[in-house]
Structure 1
Amino acid sequence: MSALLRKIMNFGPAFFAIGYTIGTGSVTSMIVAGSTYGMQLLWVLFLSCLFSGALIYAYGNFAIVTGQTALYSFKKHLRFGKPIALMIIVGVTFGQWNSLIGILGISSNIIFEMISLYVPSAAEHKYEIVLAIAVVIIGTMYSILLIGKYSLFEKILVMFVSCMGISFVLSLLVVHPMPAEVAAGFIPKIPEIAGGKMMVAAFVGTTMAAATFLSRPLFIQGKGWTMKNRAQQRKDAIVAAVLVFVISGSVMAVAHGALYHEGKRITHVLDMVNALEPIAGKAALTVFFFGTLAAGLSSVFPCMLIAPLLIEDYRSGQLDTNSKQFRIITGFAALLALAIPIFGFNPVKGQILTQVFNVFVLPLVIVGILFIINNRKLMKDYAAGKTLNIILGFALLFAIAISVNGVIALAGQF
């Protein structure tokens, strides 16, 4: 067991990437997609994970070769780098803080639904219990952040991500789609159903999360990796992309197998309880909800960290988790996260809309890394090769197309 744990801990930055990528927003999007469109959007998930893996590798390799971080390098080495970096900070922070609001709302509702499953009388005091749960979760997370140690953050994320992955794969063994339906999902097609364009944008927004790539150099810095770890960094990026695809695909497949052919649609967290319990049983439902909760909690840390990380990245390229600025900004994020529990919004709808906003800074993030990994003064003999440039070129075209699709989808909401 100790040998296994050591191997898992070698992939520390990968778990931060998974934490940023798979939260309750991702789980919600996969559940809604699986129940509404079946496996039709599996091709979007596959392309997003492929491009994400390439971007995680590119940002990580740049950090190891140059010793520099992303936004600091944009500011220093790109023409118009300062406004580009500032736009990225604003856009990513907005998206991640909105995600944090949805994550806490859904996570606290999930815990409440699990309590109600075994104690039905709790339903009479839903608002008070959900709010109390949310306060305890965010208060605990903020207290851990104040300790300010990368190694502690990493260990907690490893625990949450491991629980999440195991729970969803076990759920897939109980409820799963037909192999032919899975194969058909790899054929590119946007569902001609209301909300199809919005869901495609949400998929990309949650899977190709700009925050995942931008934070990669800082977490590699926290891990202490150097040129000796280049091969390990590549394996770490591959592991992150593969696990995101497997875990996210499992959630979509469970929702498809349980709900799609029944014609059931998910609009509230409670819908998942009513839909899955008769099919999977109370124990299996608890396992699935435990995985969803782990997904939410694994994203709270990264979402609270993102604003101070990006600001420090822009200013100095150094990660300082003990500064007064770090504590103030993460404290503000913690208070902001309580919006859904306090005001009682529907967390599912809010979370999907939030994921759509995440796609709009993605093209800038891809353009920035393309320029700096091809800068031979910086990268010397380790400048990007033809294969990586081609993949990132397609990733840019994909991100632009999805951003346009997101604009169209949002316009249709008003």
Structure 2
Amino acid sequence: MNNKAKLKNKLGSFWKLLGPGLVTGASDDDPSGIATYSQAGAAYGLSTLWTALIAFPLMTAIQQMCARIGLVTSHGLTGALKNNYPRPILYLMLLFSFPAIVLNIGADIAGMGAVGNLLFPSIDSTYFSVLFTAILLGFIIYLPYQKIAAILKYLCIVMLVYFIVPFLYKQDLIQILQSTLIPTVKFDKEFMSVLVGILGTTISPYLFFWQASMEVEERNKIENKKHLIVNKKIIQEINEDVDFGMTFSGFVMYFIILTTGTVLYAGGIHQIDTVEQAAIALKPLAGNLSYLLFAVGIIGTGLIAIPVLSGSLSYIITETFGWEQGLDKKFHEAKAFYTIIGISLLLGLSLNYIGFSPVKALIYTAILYGLTAPVLIAVILHISNNRKVMGRFTNTKIANFFGFTTLLVMTAAAVTLLFLQLTTD
């Protein structure tokens, strides 16, 4: 076998290894997340570039815990909570999750519709929003889990456009390096809102539920062929999948802040409220190709993220009430599961027609995630250190270090923001 064939086989094996971790990472950079990163870059230049470096080990540690919980317990995060903890914790989690996820879906649908209108100005954005919602609904309901997982994996390739855009514009490498390695923090309400928004949209609670539930789906798929015995090798493979997915997500986040922090900030554009504004602003400053790639990437990320968002919400609700659930099941086998997905998409779409601003939805979502994530992280840490639940697969010391660091960082940012909101006009 020649070197070319060996390389092809290795790449093929690596691609097969990638699964829920890659899709979870890609969905983290959804249109509302892109808008948040664009806001940060436009408002503060490269001052928030360091957050990508800090966020990577933190979100990786939490996602690995969620993946392990799903694999070991054969339940999603909601199921693990339901079986081992008091019901009030479960209902509180549901209370916080539902509005945040629906707002996120609404913001993403609006963003995709607006960008569709940018690419085809003769067609109104609302038509694109309806079209994307209908496509996603049919895609989720009628395709089996294996095909959905495969399509989401290939859609991740679209996000590579964000690795190209910054290099279409002249960059100051020294300044980039300094901003990446030396954190800048401003203790004012506006900066802390952006910081909590970045942390909230990067370390998002809905991803915790999705990661655990997808590991259960993957386990069920394998167990249809052979009995799966959880061991260190399988845990290592899952960790590698999560590592790659979170690395991918972190790079996309980094390059979006880099693009907007150099092109828009240097061009005197410091206020970006939506993804389409970011795309439009790039056009005269960085050229048509940058604009086109940025816009296409937004639609691609939405097609990945919305199934993850709606699926996460449906897993949370159906596991809470013990209803049949799973993307591997057909509609008649899990009617409640798919009905909840449909309702969440329609509710998200309806936000565009009742006068609720997508910009407000974006801001409220990111901040709500930033404020509620610490509670869920504390619960995840407790579950993943509980030997009664996890057996011999409890957290390592390194996992606990990064897990508790994540909890402290998210809590400190949220508390600081609340303090500034209450003490300043």
TM-score w.r.t. the length of structure 2 is: 0.87
Question: What does residue 32 of structure 1 align with?
Answer: 39
In the alignment, what sits opposite 1:184?
A: 178
Matched, 1:72 2:79: yes
TM-superposed deviation, 1:409: 6.2
Instruction: Give the distance between the partners of 2:279 and 2:336, measured in 1 at CA.
Output: 41
Contact 1:177-1:256 at 8 Å conserved across structures: no
Cα deviation, 1:143-185, whole Å, max 9, x if unaligned, reads 1111252212212211222101x11111122136422222332
1:288 maps to a residue whose letter is: F
Counterpart residue identity of residue 7, structure 1: F
Q: Against the structure 1 CA distance between its residues 187 and 374, is the aligned structure 2 distance closer, same or farther, given a 3 Å change threshold?
A: same
Q: What's the secondary structure of 1:234's corresponding residue?
A: helix
Secondary structure of the structure 2 residue equivalent to 1:361: helix
Q: Which residue of 2 aligns with 1:369?
A: 380
Matched, 1:206 2:212: no
Give me the CA root mean square deviation.
Answer: 2.5
Secondary structure of 1:359's match?
A: helix
What SS does the corresponding residue of 2:353 show, helix, strand or coil? helix
Question: Counterpart of 2:186 in 1: which secondary structure?
Answer: coil
Deviation string, structure 1 residues 358-394 (Cα, Å, up to 9, x no partner)? 1222122111122222222333332222221121111
Partners of 1:278 and 1:56 in 2: CA distance: 39
Shift of residue 19 of structure 1? 4.1
Determine if contact 2:189/2:420 at 8 Å carries over to the other structure.
Answer: no
Greater shift after overlay, 281-290 or 376-385? 376-385
Q: Is the 8 A contact 2:22 2:244 kept in 1?
A: no
Q: Is the CA contact (8 Å cut-off) linking 1:45 and 1:204 kept in structure 2? A: no
* Distance of 2:112 and 2:323 partners within structure 1: 33
Q: By how many angstroms is 1:341 displaced? A: 3.5
Aligned to 1:306: 312
Work out whether residues 19 and 299 of structure 1, in 8 Å CA contact, stay in contact via their aligned partners in 2: yes
Are the structure 2 counterparts of residues 408 and 231 from structure 1 closer, same or farther at C-alpha, using a change threshold of 3 Å?
Answer: same
2:308 pairs with 1:297: no
Deviates more, 1:300-309 or 1:105-114: 300-309
Shift of 1:107: 0.6
SS in 2 for 1:153: helix
| Structural mapping, 1:12-411, within 5 Å | 12-78=19-85, 81-116=86-121, 122=122, 129-147=124-142, 149-164=144-159, 166-175=160-169, 177-185=171-179, 186-191=181-186, 195-224=190-219, 226=228, 227-228=230-231, 229-265=234-270, 266-316=272-322, 319-321=325-327, 322=331, 323-343=334-354, 346-408=357-419
Kept in 2: contact 1:20–1:299 (CA 8 A): yes
User: Deviations along 1:230-258, whole A, 9 cap, x unmatched?
Assistant: 11101011112211110111111111121
Equivalenced residue count is: 401
Task: Indicate the larger mover: 21-30 or 339-348.
Answer: 339-348
Whether the 8 Å contact between 2:102 and 2:344 is mirrored in structure 1 is yes
| Structure 2 Cα separation of the partners of residues 251 and 44 of structure 1 | 12
Instruction: Give me the whole-angstrom Cα distance separating, in 1, the residues matched to 2:90 and 2:23.
Output: 22
Relative to structure 1, is the Cα distance of residues 286 and 344 closer, same or farther in structure 2, using a 3 angstrom cutoff? farther
Matched residues in 1 for 2:74 and 2:389: separation? Answer: 10
CA distance in 2, matches of 1:298, 1:53: 19
User: 2: CA distance between counterparts of 1:111 and 1:134?
Assistant: 8
Matched to 1:376, the amino acid is R
Secondary structure of the residue that 1:360 maps to in structure 2?
Answer: helix
Q: Mind listing any 5+ residue stretches in structure 2 that lack a counterpart?
A: 1-7, 223-227
Q: 8 Å contact 2:209–2:312 — kept in the other structure?
A: no
Aligned CA distance change for structure 1 residues 383 and 247 (closer, same or farther; 3 Å): same
Alpha-carbon deviation of 1:326?
1.6
User: More deviation in 311-320 or 399-408?
Assistant: 311-320
Partners of 2:55 and 2:276 lie apart in 1 by: 29
Q: Cα gap change, 1:263/1:406 in structure 2, threshold over 3 Å: closer, same or farther?
A: same
SS in 2 for 1:267: coil
Q: CA deviation at 1:191?
A: 3.5
Cα distance 1:352–1:175, how it changes in 2: closer, same or farther (>3 A)?
farther
Q: 1:245 to 1:75 in 2, by over 3 A?
A: same
Distance (Å, rounded) in 2 between the aligned partners of 1:28 and 1:68: 33
Q: Residues 176 and 54 of structure 1: is their aligned pair in 2 closer, same or farther, counting only changes over 3 Å?
A: farther
Shift of 1:413: 10
The residue matched to 1:342 in structure 2 has which SS? coil
Q: 1:318 to 1:3 in 2, by over 3 A?
A: farther
Distance 1:148 1:83 in 2: 35
8 Å CA contact 2:374–2:411 kept in 1: the answer is: yes
